[in-house]
Structure 1
Amino acid sequence: MFYLSLFFQYASQYLKTRFTYRVDTVIEIFSDLLSQAVNLIFILIVFRHTAALGGWNRDEIIFIYGFFLVPYALFSSFFNIWDFNERYIVKGEMDRVLTRPVHSLFQIIMERMELESLFGVITGLVIMGYAAVNQGLAFAWYDILIFIVMVIGGAFIYAGIFISIATIGFWSDSRTDIMPMMYNISNYGRYPVNIYNKVIQFVLTWILPFAFVGVYPASYFLNREEWVGYAYFTPVMGILFFGIAIFLWNTGVKKYRGAGN
């Protein structure tokens, strides 16, 4: 309850800040929507030249993309730690965080939240709805619960991977390009893994499991039986990778010696 109360206090302060600069907030939201629209248009252009991609038709690919947007929106809203190394390690703000009686990762997540990214959830649901209607998909009442569990699992996978990368800063304060590179790799999870070679499929499934953010959980709702088995592993992979990230974070905090020389 203590952390839940803190969350609402942080969120309240964040919204006050964003409403102070309304135009800037609207521009950010529009920019995100434009980026998502460009990716959707790319899919539509590809399917003007082919009827299927790796055995998946156009509406299935669109559905996968829409599903991907939902956990990604949650991740972007609450785990915005792209600049952790530079801001908290190099500039020494980690020292400030560690003086407070609240878990350091929770503080950083709250300080870096971007609630406007939650609009991606709406966009994803709309895109999924469009594709589902075209596919004539039918859903049971419990599919809503399964959807929520898989979305949270996908968001935790993203969070686990990027938090783990951020912890490198506890051992090395040198600037690296791993974050942008990992972001580019994560984009492969928007599409069916069977369109890639076997090595990439293995990496996207077991090493950097971005496939569990998009194609695997989406295959459950698309009734793709050959991939449903993987879909059930989505929450498991989310818990596993997020748990690893928390362990690495707590270990890294103990190694941290401050911003001085």
Structure 2
Amino acid sequence: MFYVSMFFQYASQYLKTRLTYRVDTVVEILSDLLFQAVNLIFILVVFGHTSFLSGWSRDEIIFIYGFFLVPYALFSSFFNIWDFNDRYIVKGEMDRVLTRPIHSLFQIIMERMELESLFGVVTGLVIMVYAGANLGLTFAWYDVFIFIAMVIGGAFIYAGIFISIATIGFWSDSRTDIMPMMYNIGNYGRYPVDIYHKVIRFVLTWILPFAFVGVYPAAYFLGRDEWYMYAFFTPVMGVIFLGIAISLWNAGVKKYRGAGN
């Protein structure tokens, strides 16, 4: 309950800060929407030249993209630690974090939250409803709970991967370009994995499991029976990768010796 209370206090202060600069907040939201629209237009352009892509129709891939946006929005809102190495290790802000009686990772997540990114959830749901209506999809009452579990699992997978990468800073304070590269790799998870080479498919499933963020869980709602096993494994993968990330973080904090010359 203490951490829940702290979350709402952090969120309250964040909203006060963002509402002070309303125009900047609106511009940022509009730029996110524009970026998502460009990706959607890209899919439409591709299907302007073909009816199917490895057995997937246009509306199925649009549905997968819409699903992908939901866990990705949660990740972007609460696990925005892409600049951890530069801000907290190189500039020494980790010393400040460690003087407080709250878990260091929780503090950093709260300090770097971007709640306006939650608009991506709405965008993703709208895209899913549009594509689902075109496909004539029907859902059972329990699909809501399955959807929530898979979305949380997908967000945890993203969080686990990027937190794990951030922990490299505890052992090496030199700037690296791994984060941007990983963001680009993550984008492959919003398309069906069977359009890729088998090596890439294996990597996106078991090494960097971004496929569990988009195509695998979305396949359940699309009625793709051959992917059901992977779909239901999504929450498990989320817990595993987030657990690994937290373990690496705790080990890194013990290794950390503070900023200095």
2:188 counterpart residue number: 188
CA distance in 2, matches of 1:26, 1:212: 31
2:66 counterpart residue number: 66
Q: Normalising by structure 1, what TM-score?
A: 1.00
Alpha-carbon RMSD: 0.3
Runs of at least 5 residues in structure 1 that lack an aligned partner in the other structure: none
1:1-48 Cα shifts (integer Å, max 9, x gaps) = 000000000000000000000000000000000000000000000001
Matched, 1:179 2:179: yes
CA distance in 2, matches of 1:231, 1:54: 19
Alignment map for 1:76-115 (pairs within 5 Å): 76-115=76-115
CA distance in 1, matches of 2:38, 2:178: 25
2:254 counterpart residue number: 254
2:210 counterpart residue number: 210
CA distance in 2, matches of 1:13, 1:260: 31
1:202-237 Cα shifts (integer Å, max 9, x gaps) = 000000000000000000000001111110100000
Matched, 1:17 2:17: yes
CA displacement at 1:74 relative to structure 2: 0.1
- The aligned amino acid for 2:169 is G
CA distance in 2, matches of 1:65, 1:75: 15
2:234 counterpart residue number: 234
1:198 counterpart residue number: 198
CA distance in 1, matches of 2:54, 2:13: 47
1:222 counterpart residue number: 222
CA distance in 1, matches of 2:235, 2:16: 34
1:158-216 Cα shifts (integer Å, max 9, x gaps) = 00000000000000000000000000000000100000000000000000000000000
CA distance in 2, matches of 1:51, 1:228: 24
1:143 counterpart residue number: 143
CA distance in 1, matches of 2:54, 2:237: 25
CA distance in 1, matches of 2:55, 2:154: 24
1:31 counterpart residue number: 31
1:120 counterpart residue number: 120
Matched, 1:163 2:184: no
| Percentage of identical aligned residues | 85
- The aligned amino acid for 1:43 is I
- The aligned amino acid for 1:210 is F
CA distance in 2, matches of 1:55, 1:236: 28
- How many aligned positions are there? 261
CA displacement at 1:54 relative to structure 2: 1.0
CA distance in 2, matches of 1:80, 1:219: 27
CA distance in 1, matches of 2:29, 2:221: 28
CA displacement at 1:244 relative to structure 2: 0.1
Provide runs of 4+ in structure 1 moved above 4 Å: none
CA distance in 2, matches of 1:169, 1:54: 40
- The aligned amino acid for 1:46 is V
Q: Normalising by structure 2, what TM-score?
A: 1.00
Runs of at least 5 residues in structure 2 that lack an aligned partner in the other structure: none
CA displacement at 1:118 relative to structure 2: 0.0
CA distance in 2, matches of 1:184, 1:101: 36
CA distance in 2, matches of 1:70, 1:171: 33
- The aligned amino acid for 2:92 is G
CA distance in 2, matches of 1:85, 1:101: 22
